[in-house]
């Protein structure tokens, strides 16, 4: 290879010495030495701060060092000693910064002062907080509330999120899209239809009791590495783990636990997946249909011979609805179609079904590989069907486990960040705060993008995140963004969204969660909800990156007070002085979830919100758990069936958190030095006339009159199913049409983008 890209398949286990080496490099590069001791003492511990990386559960009895490679990287990245002061902006024009990479922008360090864009000099200039709030308030007052968007990325605490949704509703809109709209929105729409709850049903202790884990479309080694601790323990007990993923992800293969000195010294890894199936992208419905078909056939045979049944007939009769129609559809499905769409032979699907049928209690884990498809809801609902067939919901050691993304993304929904009004107790908010909340649904992320492109969004507030980089249809979005009147970005580091200014733009820097949040009554606590509905307190431990920084609650209160008429029922000032009062207000709005909120802050392992499906109470229309029939065998709704079109998976490397790029290596996939790569199977490469390591161009195959094409990728051979290729997000977002989303939830379908490939 001629450039700096290195391609060297990684044969080491996940974790182990490789992760320690990588961490040492990151702590030095970020000069974040102050973070080291805190990691052991305070990270994910009761009385300490909760990791800002993923949302995986925090155990009641943590390890001495309850962190992982990527959680530690996120912490070093936050606690870097690098700074972006006003002088940085004095030396760099915004249009020049637009040419910088995502990595280079964030790598400059933490933002230190509130800044306002000055179009004449094309620079951000410092502004006082007071002036910033006053001007933002003036910019928001008197607008049509539905032309304003209040976006949230899933990191902000329950306290901030509650204040933010109240700000939007007092202002007059339910336009509260969040990062979840691009992520597990599919889960939030699919699960209520199936089992009457929008969240997963398992608790951490279920991993200690399960007899089998199924995993679909989730990359544990990179995106939720602490889950490997649970998986390692259950593998020690001999529990099988069955994985469906087009890529051979190292995290699902082998793990050496850095917290186990004996294992580190011997470098003897734990094998995680006992069966690994490289399903084609969008082939999961077909794969699960094949498994269900086998279960039905074996159950028929068991009935005929009088041996033990395979299905849980009592559970199906008492607790479910729709089984008859479901089983007819599965029986009618043709094995040749199942194997063609899934890319897996019948024997493989039968072997997976055999393991599933042999277990008393099964947990199904899933991620973006199921949610980010045109038929994402069908994917998730088919997985529920598979669990329901054998009664695997609502008993110990069994259940559904969506692995959430951002550390408080699930919690934001819980406290009212939702564009859908039926998810929010509007009547209670109305009574609590003496106002008429807007009753019309707001816009989700895709609808916001449509409205931005159409010029209907006039002002956008971002509570964290990097909206322009995270959404599809990048080129049209960036062009339209500049036409807005106002952009307000609450952020910790500089990113691309900040560099596409609207007519008036503000950049408001804030604390990170591991920093001390000092207010009038002393240092404050914030809270968040993990993937298993457990709520934890978090106390910052480190000195803030700059004395100018304000906490997120203070910034939200500042904007609210400058924008809204006085309302004695909403004590913004008192809330900011003492966050316990915000928690009291949350408890009053959501009494079932947050009973005795302040009293239960420090329960080891957090306190769990009640989830009715855990007790086999089904809050669905039918009052039962519903078998729901998938609308097709392929989750891309047939888009990839033309032989020349490839399905592009856009995914994360081991050196990034979403649009935050820590570095250019993806150690676990053996790719170093560049993110402009496409992984593909050598047969596909040869068929398209591409040399090994050659340069390629990807072009979206959608025929809608818009050209979406990107060159400059290097082809890298990897073991992938025919017709499936993979490249990195966010680089590839320019290739994804806005309308290419899950049909029900509108989650962008980032995992099977129809593309053509050619030598470049």
Ligand X SMILES: Nc1nc2c(c(=O)[nH]1)N[C@H]1C(S)=C(S)[C@@H](COP(=O)(O)OP(=O)(O)OC[C@H]3O[C@@H](n4cnc5c(=O)[nH]c(N)nc54)[C@H](O)[C@@H]3O)O[C@H]1N2
Least distance to ligand X, CB of residue 648, Å: 9
Q: Which is nearer to Mo ion, 470 or 696 (CB)?
A: 470
Confirm or reject binding of residue 159 to ligand X (CB under 6 A).
no
Which residues, 467 to 486, sit near ligand X by CB under 6 A? 467, 470
Confirm or reject binding of residue 650 to ligand X (CB under 6 A).
yes
Tokens standing for residue 243: 């994985």
Instruction: Pick from 114, 196, 246, 605 the residue near ligand X by CB under 6 A.
Output: 246
Query: Across the strands, what pairs with 365?
Result: 215, 401
Instruction: Give the interface segment with ligand X, choosing from 34-42, 465-473, 476-484, 666-674 (CB under 6 A).
Output: 465-473
Instruction: Give the interface segment with ligand X, choosing from 4-12, 229-237, 649-657, 663-671 (CB under 6 A).
Output: 649-657
For the chain, the distance separating the N- and C-terminal CA atoms, rounded to the nearest angstrom, is: 15
In the shown chain, the binding pattern of residues 61 to 80 toward ligand X, with x for contact by CB under 6 A and - for none, equals ---------x----------
For residue 654, what are the CA distances in angstroms to 14, 67, 182, 223, 626? 11, 15, 20, 8, 37
Instruction: Pick from 112, 161, 733, 745 the residue near ligand X by CB under 6 A.
Output: 733
Degrees, nearest 5: CA angle 388-389-391: 55
Which residues, 385 to 414, sit near Mo ion by CB under 5 A? 405
d(CA 396, CA 220) in angstroms, rounded, equals 23
Confirm or reject binding of residue 247 to ligand X (CB under 6 A).
yes
d(CA 268, CA 395) in angstroms, rounded, equals 34
Q: Which is nearer to ligand X, 245 or 414 (CB)?
A: 245
Distance of CA 50 to the CA centre of its chain: 17
3-state SS string over 579-625?
HHHHHHHHHHHCCCCCCCCHHHCCCCCCEECCCHHHHCCCCCCCCCE
Tokens standing for residue 541: 């431990």
- Closest residue to Mo ion in the complex (CB): 405
d(CA 49, CA 673) in angstroms, rounded, equals 33
Confirm or reject binding of residue 466 to ligand X (CB under 6 A).
yes
Instruction: Pick from 202, 213, 363, 491 the residue near ligand X by CB under 6 A.
Output: 491
d(CA 457, CA 423) in angstroms, rounded, equals 23
Torsion-angle region of residue 343: left (phi > 0), alpha (psi -120 to 50) or beta?
left
Q: Number of residues interacting with ligand X: please give it, by CB under 6 A.
A: 61
Question: If you search the block for the tokens 């902000």, which residue do you land on?
Answer: 156
Instruction: Pick from 458, 751, 754, 757 the residue near ligand X by CB under 6 A.
Output: 751
Confirm or reject binding of residue 512 to ligand X (CB under 6 A).
yes
Q: Which is nearer to ligand X, 220 or 429 (CB)?
A: 220
Least distance to ligand X, CB of residue 744, Å: 17
Confirm or reject binding of residue 54 to ligand X (CB under 6 A).
yes
Torsion-angle region of residue 394: left (phi > 0), alpha (psi -120 to 50) or beta?
left
Q: Which is nearer to ligand X, 185 or 312 (CB)?
A: 185
Least distance to ligand X, CB of residue 568, Å: 28
Instruction: Pick from 493, 624, 718, 746 the residue near ligand X by CB under 6 A.
Output: 493
Closest to 735 measured CA to CA, from 476, 411, 354: 476
Closest to 51 measured CA to CA, from 548, 308, 408: 408
Q: Which is nearer to Mo ion, 412 or 533 (CB)?
A: 412
Residue 357, SS3? helix
With 0-12 / 13-18 / 19 or more C-beta atoms within 10 angstroms meaning exposed / middle / buried, residue 675 is: buried
Q: Which is nearer to Mo ion, 183 or 316 (CB)?
A: 183
Which residues, 274 to 313, sit near ligand X by CB under 6 A? 279, 281-282, 284
Degrees, nearest 5: CA angle 167-172-178: 60
Contacted by 279, from Mo ion, ligand X, none: CB < 5 to 8 Å by type: ligand X
DSSP letter (8 states) at residue 160: H
Confirm or reject binding of residue 290 to Mo ion (CB under 5 A).
no
State the CB neighbour count (10 A cutoff) for residue 602.
13
d(CA 85, CA 158) in angstroms, rounded, equals 29
Least distance to ligand X, CB of residue 375, Å: 11
Q: Number of residues interacting with Mo ion: please give it, by CB under 5 A.
A: 2
Confirm or reject binding of residue 370 to Mo ion (CB under 5 A).
no
Confirm or reject binding of residue 164 to ligand X (CB under 6 A).
no
Relative orientation angle of helices 158-171 and 552-563, to the nearest 10 degrees:
10
Least distance to Mo ion, CB of residue 408, Å: 12
Residue 260, SS3? coil
Contact call for residues 375 and 632 (beta carbons, < 8 A) = yes
Q: Which is nearer to ligand X, 110 or 624 (CB)?
A: 110
Confirm or reject binding of residue 465 to ligand X (CB under 6 A).
yes
Confirm or reject binding of residue 74 to Mo ion (CB under 5 A).
no
Contacted by 109, from Mo ion, ligand X, none: CB < 5 to 8 Å by type: none
Contacted by 510, from Mo ion, ligand X, none: CB < 5 to 8 Å by type: ligand X
Confirm or reject binding of residue 155 to ligand X (CB under 6 A).
yes
**CA contacts within 13 A on the Cβ side of 24:** 5
In the shown chain, the binding pattern of residues 710 to 729 toward ligand X, with x for contact by CB under 6 A and - for none, equals -------------------x
Contact footprint for ligand X (CB under 6 A): 53-54, 70, 106, 153, 155, 179, 182-183, 216-219, 222-224, 244-247, 249, 279, 281-282, 284, 367-369, 372, 405-406, 463-467, 470, 490-493, 495, 510, 512, 552, 649-652, 656-660, 729-730, 732-733, 736, 750-751
Contact footprint for Mo ion (CB under 5 A): 183, 405
């Amino acid at each position: 290879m001629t450039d700096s890209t290195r391609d060297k398949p990684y044969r080491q286990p996940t974790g182990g010495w490789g992760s320690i080496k990588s961490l040492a490099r990151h702590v030095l590069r970020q000069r974040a030495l102050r973070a080291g001791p805190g990691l052991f003492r305070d990270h994910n511990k009761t009385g300490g701060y909760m990791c800002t990386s993923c949302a995986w559960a925090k155990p009641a009895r943590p390890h001495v060092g309850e962190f992982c490679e990527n959680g530690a990287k996120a912490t070093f990245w936050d606690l870097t000693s690098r700074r972006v002061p006003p002088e940085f902006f004095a030396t760099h024009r915004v249009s020049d910064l637009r040419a910088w990479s995502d990595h280079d922008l964030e790598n400059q360090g933490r933002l230190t002062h509130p800044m306002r864009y000055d179009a004449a000099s094309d620079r951000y200039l410092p502004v006082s907080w007071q002036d910033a709030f006053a001007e933002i308030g003036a910019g928001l007052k008197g607008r049509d509330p539905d032309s304003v968007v209040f976006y949230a990325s899933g990191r902000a605490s329950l306290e901030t999120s509650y204040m933010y949704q109240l700000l939007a509703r007092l202002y007059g809109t339910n336009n509260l899209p969040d990062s979840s709209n691009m992520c597990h929105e599919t889960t939030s729409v699919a699960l209520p239809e199936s089992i009457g709850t929008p969240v997963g049903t398992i608790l951490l202790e279920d991993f200690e009791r399960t007899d089998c884990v199924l995993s679909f479309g989730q990359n544990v080694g990179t995106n939720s590495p602490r889950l490997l601790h649970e998986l390692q323990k259950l593998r020690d007990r001999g529990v099988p783990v069955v994985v469906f993923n087009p890529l051979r992800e190292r995290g699902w293969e082998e793990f050496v636990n850095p917290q186990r000195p004996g294992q580190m010294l011997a470098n003897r890894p734990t094998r995680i997946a006992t069966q690994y199936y490289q399903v084609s992208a969008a082939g999961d419905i077909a794969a699960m249909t094949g498994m269900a078909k086998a279960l039905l056939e074996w159950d028929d045979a068991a009935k005929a011979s009088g041996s033990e049944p395979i299905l849980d007939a009592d559970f199906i009769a008492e607790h479910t609805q729709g089984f008859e129609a479901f089983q007819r559809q599965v029986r009618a499905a043709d094995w040749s179609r199942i194997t063609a769409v899934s890319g897996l032979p019948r024997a493989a699907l039968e072997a997976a079904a055999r393991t599933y049928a042999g277990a008393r209690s099964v947990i199904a884990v899933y991620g973006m590989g199921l949610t980010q498809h045109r038929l994402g809801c069908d994917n998730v609902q088919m997985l529920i069907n598979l669990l329901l067939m054998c009664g695997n919901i609502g008993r110990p050691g069994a259940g559904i486990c969506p692995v959430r993304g951002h550390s408080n993304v699930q919690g934001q929904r819980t406290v009212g960040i939702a564009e859908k009004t039926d998810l929010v107790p509007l009547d209670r908010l109305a009574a609590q705060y003496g106002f008429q909340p807007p009753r019309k649904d707001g816009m989700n992320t895709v609808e916001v993008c449509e409205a931005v492109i159409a010029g209907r969004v006039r002002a956008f507030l971002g509570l964290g995140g990097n909206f322009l980089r995270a959404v599809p249809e990048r080129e049209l979005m960036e062009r339209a963004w500049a036409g807005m009147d106002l952009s307000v970005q609450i952020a910790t580091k500089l990113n691309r969204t900040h560099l596409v200014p609207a007519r008036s733009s503000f950049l408001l820097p804030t604390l990170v969660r591991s920093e001390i949040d000092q207010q009038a009554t002393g240092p404050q606590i914030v809270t968040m909800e993990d993937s298993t509905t457990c709520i934890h307190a978090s106390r910052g431990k480190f000195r803030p990156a700059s004395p100018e920084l304000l906490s997120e609650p203070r910034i939200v209160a500042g904007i609210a007070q400058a924008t809204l008429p006085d309302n004695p029922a909403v004590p913004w000032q008192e809330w900011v002085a003492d966050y316990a009062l915000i928690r009291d207000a949350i408890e009053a709005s959501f009494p079932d979830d947050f009973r005795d909120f302040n009293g239960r802050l420090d329960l080891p392992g957090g306190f769990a919100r009640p989830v009715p499906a855990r007790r086999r109470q089904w809050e669905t229309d039918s009052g039962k758990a519903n078998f729901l029939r998938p609308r097709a065998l392929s989750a891309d709704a047939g888009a990839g069936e033309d032989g020349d079109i490839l399905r592009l998976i856009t995914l994360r490397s081991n050196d990034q958190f979403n649009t935050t790029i820590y570095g250019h290596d993806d150690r676990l996939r053996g790719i170093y030095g560049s993110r402009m790569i496409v992984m593909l199977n050598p047969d596909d490469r040869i068929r398209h006339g591409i040399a090994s390591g050659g340069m390629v161009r990807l072009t979206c195959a959608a025929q809608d009159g818009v050209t979406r094409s990107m060159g400059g990728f290097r082809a890298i051979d990897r073991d992938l199913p025919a017709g499936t290729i993979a490249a990195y997000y966010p680089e590839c977002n320019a290739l994804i049409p806005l309308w290419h989303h899950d049909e029900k939830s509108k989650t962008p379908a980032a995992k099977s983008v129809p593309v053509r490939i050619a030598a470049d």
